[in-house]
Amino acid sequence: MKVIFLDIDGVLNGFAEYTAPAIPSHEWDPSVMQRCGIALEMHWDNVKRMNKFINETGATVVLSTSWRKGDDLWWESLLQTFEHAGFLRSAIIGKTPNMHSSRGDEIQAYLDQHPEVTNFVIFDDINEMYNLLDNFVQTNYQLGVQDADIEKAREILKIPRGAA
């Protein structure tokens, strides 16, 4: 099983003013925002880029972002936000454990608990991966995931360009 460990901030969104247009917050489901106060913006181009990569590789997604931390209501609201943003919600199979540790340690704990994961790639803008660097794609926090990042991830997953 191929898995993408996915951060949000600095991967599906970016912080530079010249990044791709964000999904306007007024288009989000207001009930989600009222219940949990989610103020998450994802950029269309980054979401489309990641969706295409997921479709081409057949990989599933495990959220490793700090946005995954919260109760069940928060988790469901986060998944609804992903869906509303056009992200392939069906690809999300879970989240890394919340160990109050480095993200790399939390990803390693997930891998230890899921031996069915045979290949994986990590998208994050912060390097806390330590022994997982061979599977790590560090994105530019100002732009989020770019085509060059996707190409590096293809190499990590050993997926030839244009192959499904």
CA angle 98, 103, 105 (to 5 degrees): 85
pLDDT at 41: 67
Q: What is the mean pLDDT of residues 130-155?
A: 94
Q: What is the pLDDT of residues 83-127, one digit of tens each?
A: 777 788 789 999 999 888 899 999 999 999 999 999 999 999 999
Between CA 162 and CA 164 the distance in angstroms is: 7
pLDDT at 149: 97
pLDDT at 90: 84
53 vs 18 pLDDT, higher one? 53
DSSP class of residue 33 equals H
pLDDT band at 75 (very low <50, low <70, confident <90, very high): confident
pLDDT at 161: 66
Helix (H, G, I), strand (E, B) or coil at 118: coil
Give just the sign of the alpha carbon dihedral 10, 135, 92, 99: negative
Domains along the chain?
A: 2-157 (3.40.50.1000)
pLDDT at 132: 95
pLDDT at 43: 79
**Amino acid identity for residue 120 in this structure:** F
Q: What is the pLDDT of residues 31-63, one digit of tens each?
A: 544 444 444 567 778 888 999 999 999 999 999
Helix (H, G, I), strand (E, B) or coil at 109: helix
The packing angle between helices 147-157 and 44-57, to 10°, is: 20
Instruction: Return the percentage of the chain with pLDDT > 90, whole number.
Output: 48
